[in-house]
Chain A
Amino acid sequence: MTRSVIVVGAGLTGLYASILAARRGAQVLLVAQGRGGLALSHGCIDVWHDGDVRFSFRNLDPAHPLAGLGMAVFQAALTEFLDIVQEAGLPYAGGLDRPMRLPRALGTIRTTAAAPVTLAAGSLDDKTPIHMADLRGFRDFSANLAAGRLRTQGVPIGGVVELPLAEVGARDAYAHELAGAFDDPGYRAEVCSTWKPLLRGVRRLGLPAVLGTSDPTQVVADLEAGLGVDIFEIPTLPPSLPGLRLERALRHRASSIGVDVVEGPSVRGEIDGRSAGRRVSGVVAATAGGPRAFRADTVLLATGGPAHAGWMSFANGEVQDSVFGLPVDAPDDREAWTSPDPFESQPYARFGLRLDSRRHPCDRRGRPYFENLFAAGGLLAGADRTLEGSRQVIDLATAFAAVEAMLR
Chain B
Amino acid sequence: MRTATPTSIAPTDGRPLPANRIVTTLSSDLLVIGAGATGLGVAWDATLRGLSVTVVEQGDLGQGTSGRYHGLLHSGARYVVSDPASAADCARENEVVRRLVPHAVEPTGGYFLSTDDDPPDYVDRWLAGCRGAGVAVEELDPAQVMRQEPLVTPRLARAFAVSDAALDSFELLHALARGVRASRGSVLLRHRVTGLVPHGGGMLARIVSLRDEVALQLAAPWVVNAAGPFVGVVAAMAGVHLPLALGKGTMVAMTSRLTQTVLNRCKPPHDGDIIVPVGTVCVLGTTDVPVRAPTDLTIEPWEIDLLIREGQALIPTLRRHRPLRAWAGVRALYRPADDRAPTRDLPRAHVLIDHAPEGLPGFLTILGGKLTTFRRMAQDIVDRVSERPCTTAITPLPAEERRFYRLGESLRRPPPTQSRPERLVCECEGVTASQVEAALAESGSDDLDDLRRDLRLGMGPCQGAFCTYRAAAAVAATLPDVPLDGGLSAFFRERWRGIRPLAWGRGLRQADILRRIQIEALGADPVDEVVR
Contacts and interface: CB of A to CB of B under 8 A. Distances in A.
Interface stretch (A87-95, A139-147, A250-258, A295-303): A139-147
Contact of A237 (B420, B469, B500, B526): B469
Given A139-B423, A142-B472, A337 B517 contact: no
Contacts of B425: 139
B472 A349 contact: no
B469 A142 contact: yes
B489 interface: yes
Interface string B113-139: 000000000000000000000000000
Interface in B507-532: 508-509, 511-513, 515-526, 530, 532
Interface stretch (A121-129, A274-282, A305-313): A305-313
A386 B424 contact: no
A142 B423 contact: no
Nearest to A313: B504
Given A40-B521, A240-B521, A337 B508 contact: yes
A306 B509 CA distance: 5
Contacts of A237: 466, 469, 517, 521-522
Contact of A315 (B319, B493, B512): B319
A167 interface: no
A315 B308 contact: yes
Interface string A318-351: 0000000000000001110110111100101100
Contacts of A341: 493, 496, 526
B504 A107 contact: no
A171 interface: yes
B476 interface: yes
Contacts of B532: 148, 152
A149 interface: yes
A159 interface: no
Nearest to B500: A338
Contact of A110 (B473, B492, B523): B523
A235 interface: yes
15 contacts: A105-B469, A106-B524, A107-B523, A108-B523, A108-B525, A109-B523, A140-B470, A144-B476, A144-B477, A152-B530, A335-B301, A340-B500, A341-B496, A387-B519, A391-B520
Contacts of B492: 342
B503 interface: yes
Interface of A: 40, 42, 104-110, 137, 139-140, 142, 144-145, 148-149, 152, 170-172, 235-238, 240, 305-309, 312-315, 317, 333-335, 337-338, 340-343, 346, 348-349, 386-387, 389, 391
Contact of A139 (B319, B470, B516, B524): B470
A389 B520 CA distance: 8
Contacts of A313: 504-505, 508
B511 A139 contact: no
Nearest to B305: A315
Interface string B294-328: 00000011000100100000000001000000000
A379 to B, nearest CB: 13
Given A107-B523, A142-B472, A170-B421, A307 B516 contact: yes
Nearest to B432: A172
A139 B432 CA distance: 11
B421 A149 contact: no
B485 interface: yes
B308 A139 contact: no
B518 A139 contact: no
Contacts of B228: none
Contacts of A149: 484-485, 530
A139 to B, nearest CB: 5
B504 A315 contact: yes
Contact of B525 (A142, A334, A343): A343
B497 interface: yes
A239 to B, nearest CB: 10
Given A172-B424, A340-B496, A349-B512, A334 B301 contact: yes
Interface in B386-440: 420-425, 433
A106 B488 contact: yes
Given A142-B476, A237-B469, A342-B493, A172 B423 contact: yes
B486 interface: yes
B421 A171 contact: yes
Given A137-B423, A171-B421, A306-B512, A386 B503 contact: no
B523 A104 contact: yes
Given A142-B472, A144-B473, A152-B484, A106 B505 contact: no
A148 B505 CA distance: 38
B521 A307 contact: no
A107 B486 CA distance: 11
